[in-house]
Chain A
Amino acid sequence: MAHPTQLGFQDAASPVMEELLHFHDHALMIVFLISTLVLYIIIAMVSTKLTNKYILDSQEIEIVWTILPAVILVLIALPSLRILYLMDEINDPHLTIKAMGHQWYWSYEYTDYENLGFDSYMVPTQDLAPGQFRLLETDHRMVVPMESPVRILVSAEDVLHSWAVPSLGVKMDAVPGRLNQTAFIASRPGVFYGQCSEICGANHSFMPIVVEAVPLEHFENWSSLMLEDA
């Protein structure tokens, strides 16, 4: 989850997010290099006592500062497209979960075998236990088996919402009447937080998402327990 004074991304919890993180490091490095170069040139130009009023053109430098940016752009585009196509790969999910957005909570449906469905409301601040995170915790978490490809079908029952979990590298708009598909693999066990990412009314900031990735046996125990309670 996010922490105070955080500058970068949250730790990646899925292979796709790891790729995005590394790509961002790569692109940002290029941005810093170019910005440093430009800043240096500006300072050098501003602080020199030399003047030259007679340069009209220069073919060589024009060639360099056309070709070099083109090369840099290719160096950015290739890893970017690689990740784009990686995200678009046909995956074979082990499990399908539906995330339905409501005003102002999420509901999750696990219907591959039985009809398991439950609502997930934010825990109000006054009801938090010590150590829990304000505006992020929910009464029921979306539990998934770790290291398994999971298909999430996102939709909404009233207005637009958006289901986002940054550490998994997932964000998908929830549109009423439409079923949007996304997928992820949780590479490690853990608890991953997200928040509704499309303005949806008064409590838009108070309908968080919590994904809990656990070993498969724990997932099976949890789903049996949830079915009994329902």
Chain B
Amino acid sequence: MAEDIQQKLEKYRTAPFDARFPNQNQTRNCWQNYVDFYRCQKALDAKGVDTAPCDWYKRVYKSLCPLSWIEKWDTQREDGTFPGKI
């Protein structure tokens, strides 16, 4: 499983088509991957497992999300005002 993720990450070019977000509005795609990365990190950290599988979500949100949005959300997470549940 971890090896598959490693392979996928090595061959990563850009965020692939995600059937959950097939249309023009990709806002939710960016949001979902951002939130999934931090949730994955939190969950795997809690279990004491290597968080490398979470890197997929990180690559995808880095590809999709505008830098200003990422900065804003990172600040909100640090301040504890992030609107999503992590």
Q: Which of B16, B29, B59, B66 has a CB less than 8 Å from the CB of A155? A: B66
Known A180-B24, A180-B26; judge A92-B16 contact (CB<8 A). Answer: yes
How far does the Cβ of B69 sit from chain A's closest Cβ, in whole Å?
8
Check if A178 is an interface residue, CB within 8 A of chain B: yes
- Interface residue tally of chain B, by bracket? 20 to 34
Check if B81 is an interface residue, CB within 8 A of chain A: no
Check if B22 is an interface residue, CB within 8 A of chain A: yes
Interface size for A (C-beta < 8 A) is 25
Check if A179 is an interface residue, CB within 8 A of chain B: yes
* A109 touching B67, Cβ below 8 Å: yes
* Known A92-B16, A112-B59, A181-B25; 4 more pairs at CB < 8 Å: A91-B17, A112-B14, A178-B25, A179-B65
A residues lining the B interface (CB < 8 Å): 90-96, 98, 100, 109, 111-112, 115, 117, 151, 153, 155, 157, 172, 177-182
Q: What are some 24 contacts across the A-B interface (CB < 8 A)?
A: A90-B22, A91-B17, A92-B17, A94-B14, A95-B13, A96-B15, A96-B63, A96-B64, A98-B66, A100-B66, A109-B67, A111-B63, A111-B67, A112-B59, A112-B62, A112-B63, A153-B64, A157-B68, A177-B27, A178-B25, A179-B30, A179-B66, A180-B25, A181-B24
